[in-house]
């Protein structure tokens, strides 16, 4: 018998089915039970859910590129003209990028991204989740310390768990706390890493990137910024909040995803050529997975190029979000943030679920976000806006919200 077996000698085994049935009951009782909604076809800003067409206030297609008819018409034309001549539109890659899965269109995509950002290199990944669970474990060692904003996305947290480095989480956007942790770390580690989102996905607020850059320089740390929700929305040419704040060239790795404003699938990071070379040699979520098919990279290249010129849509989107936020605040609600993600804080899970139900009846899809995705007693409705919404859509939404007693 092994040591751990002996230690558990008196513990009665519980069948897995029994355990998980209890866990599911608990989730139901807490109003935290999740199921996959039956979403059907999308028609611009509308989406079919359980047989009804609703105004979609829960998508990450921030620029509306996913339902841009002109863009999809030129995509179709490109497909029919270029056809299958060089495998550019193949729907399989059949291998890791390090074996036979790397089509030239992926290199073309990386060059376009690196060029637009003004970085030496870019590296494309299968998803933001692959990027975040792969980059930190590849770059850090057990001699290092990673400092992570407490509200960073689950994929970053999972990356910390996989990495051999020690990690600490600083209070959300509390850079005094970050500095305290850095002071305490002095002389104890070989490398220091700071990781943050630029636009926080659940609160819609923004990291103070200028302060983070100053801290990075003061302590000799490497700074990694996840622009999943900033790319396409902030900055000139949609190059994100780092660009808007004028600190792009001082960030060591800027990560972006294609799955949100870019209306595709996958992710990228821009960096020095040396980092790229190292990641290609060490990053398990790049090496040990089948590459995305070339057709996805070809579409990502098209949407990336298209979004570079969408300044009008960006400014409309941010203006719409700002007026919705102000109206909700005027109506007495707590609404944090200053981006296109507008969270309406409600507290108890039951309130968020109830208001989501009322809105759904009235034709709006706004999903409730509950713990553990957000801290206890901070359940919310999260409106993630898109550039094809208009002022009338927002007024209709506000009329319903104002009419219910919450
Ligand atoms: C901040 C952040 N990073 C990464 C991801 C993961 O990106 P992907 O959906 O491409 O896996 C998300 C997805 O919601 C996110 O919000």
The pLDDT value given to residue 86 = 82
Q: What is the whole-number distance in angstroms between the Cα of residue 227 and the centre of ligand 1?
A: 9
CATH class of 86-308: alpha beta
pLDDT at 9: 63
Query: Residues with beta carbon inside 6 Å of ligand 1?
Result: 127-129, 132, 153, 155, 197, 201, 226, 228, 257, 259, 267
Nearest CA to ligand 1 atom 4: 128
pLDDT tier for residue 1 given thresholds of 50, 70 and 90: very low
Domain boundaries, the chain: 31-63+311-403, 86-308
Residue scoring higher pLDDT (3 or 213)? 213
Q: Who has greater pLDDT, 337 or 10?
A: 337
Q: Is a pLDDT exceeding 50 seen at residue 185? A: yes
Listed ranges 11-15, 309-313, 333-337; the one with the highest mean pLDDT: 309-313
Site to substitute for ligand 1 among 66, 155, 233, most atoms within 8 A of C-beta: 155
**Confidence check: pLDDT of 288 > 70:** yes
Contact 67, 44 (CB under 8 A): yes
Name the residue at shortest CA distance from atom 5 of ligand 1.
Answer: 128
- Residue 266 CA, closest ligand 1 atom number: 10
**Quick check: 6 pLDDT over 60?**
no
Identify the residue whose C-alpha is closest to ligand 1 atom 3: 228
CB 132 within 8 A of CB 140: no
How confident is the model over 31-50, as pLDDT tens digits?
788 888 888 888 889 999 98
Q: How far is the CA of 11 from the centre of ligand 1 (A)?
A: 40
Q: pLDDT by residue (tens digit) across 239-253?
A: 999 999 999 999 999
The pLDDT value given to residue 3: 45
**Angle subtended by helix axes 175-185 and 209-219, to nearest 10:** 10
- What's the DSSP call for residue 199? B
| Averaged pLDDT, 305-321 | 98
Residue 129 Cα to ligand 1 midpoint, Å, equals 6
State the distance from the centre of ligand 1 to the C-alpha of 152, rounded, in angstroms. Answer: 10
Is the pLDDT confidence value at 8 over 70?
A: no
Q: Which CATH number fits domain 31-63+311-403: 3.90.1150.10, 3.40.50.2000, 3.40.50.970, 3.10.20.30?
A: 3.90.1150.10
Q: Is the pLDDT of residue 295 over 90?
A: yes
* Tokens 């290092």 found at: 144
* Nearest ligand 1 atom, CA 259: 10
**Alpha carbon of 61 to ligand 1 centroid (Å):** 13
Rounded to whole angstroms, how far apart are CA atoms 233 and 257? 12
Ligand 1 pocket mutation, candidates 61, 132, 230, 257, criterion most atoms within 8 A of CB? 257
DSSP string, 137-177: HHH--TT-EEEEETT--HHHHHHHHHSSSEEEEEPTT-HHH
Calculate the average pLDDT of the chain: 94
**Secondary structure (DSSP) of 210-233:** HHHHHHHHHHT-EEEEE-TTTTTT
- Give the whole-number percent of the chain exceeding pLDDT 90: 87
Which stretch of 12-21, 76-85, 235-244 has the lowest confidence by average pLDDT?
A: 76-85
User: Residue range 223-227: average pLDDT?
Assistant: 98
CA angle 315, 321, 325 (to 5 degrees): 145
Residue 272 confidence (pLDDT) above 90: yes
């Amino acid at each position: 018998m092994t040591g751990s077996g002996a230690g558990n000698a008196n513990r009665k085994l519980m069948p897995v089915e029994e355990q998980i049935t209890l866990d599911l009951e608990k989730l139901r009782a807490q109003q935290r039970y999740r199921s996959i909604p039956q979403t059907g076809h999308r028609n611009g800003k509308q989406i079919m859910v359980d047989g009804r067409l609703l105004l979609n206030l829960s998508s990450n297609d921030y620029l509306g590129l996913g339902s841009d008819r002109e863009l999809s018409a030129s995509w179709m034309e490109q497909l029919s003209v270029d056809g299958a001549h060089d495998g550019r539109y193949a729907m399989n890659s059949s291998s890791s990028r390090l074996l036979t899965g790397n089509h030239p269109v992926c290199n073309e995509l990386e060059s376009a991204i690196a060029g637009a950002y003004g970085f030496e290199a870019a590296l494309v990944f299968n998803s933001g989740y692959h990027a975040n669970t792969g980059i930190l474990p590849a770059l850090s060692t057990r001699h290092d310390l990673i400092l992570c904003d407490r509200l960073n996305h689950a994929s970053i947290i999972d990356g910390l768990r996989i990495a051999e480095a020690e990690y600490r989480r600083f209070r959300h956007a509390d850079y005094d706390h970050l500095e305290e942790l850095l002071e305490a770390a002095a002389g104890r580690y070989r490398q220091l890493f700071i990781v943050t989102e630029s636009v926080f996905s659940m609160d819609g607020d923004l990291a103070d990137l200028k302060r983070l850059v100053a801290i990075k320089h003061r302590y000799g740390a490497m700074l990694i910024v996840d622009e999943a929700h900033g790319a396409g929305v902030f900055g000139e040419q949609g190059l994100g909040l780092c660009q808007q704040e004028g600190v792009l060239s001082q960030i060591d790795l800027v990560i972006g995803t294609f799955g949100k404003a870019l209306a595709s699938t996958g992710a990228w990071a821009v960096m020095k050529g040396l980092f790229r070379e190292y990641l290609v040699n060490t990053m398990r979520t790049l090496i040990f997975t089948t590459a995305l098919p070339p057709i996805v990279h070809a579409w990502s290249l098209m949407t990336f190029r298209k979004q570079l010129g969408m300044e009008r849509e960006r400014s409309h989107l941010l203006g719409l979000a700002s007026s919705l936020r102000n109206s909700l605040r005027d109506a007495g609600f707590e609404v944090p943030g200053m981006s296109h993600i507008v969270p309406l804080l409600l507290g108890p899970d039951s309130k968020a679920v109830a208001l989501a139900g009322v809105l759904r009846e009235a034709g709006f899809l706004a999903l409730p976000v509950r713990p553990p995705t957000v801290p206890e007693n901070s359940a919310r409705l999260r409106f993630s806006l898109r550039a094809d919404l208009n002022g009338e859509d927002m007024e209709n939404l506000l009329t319903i919200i104002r009419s219910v007693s919450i």
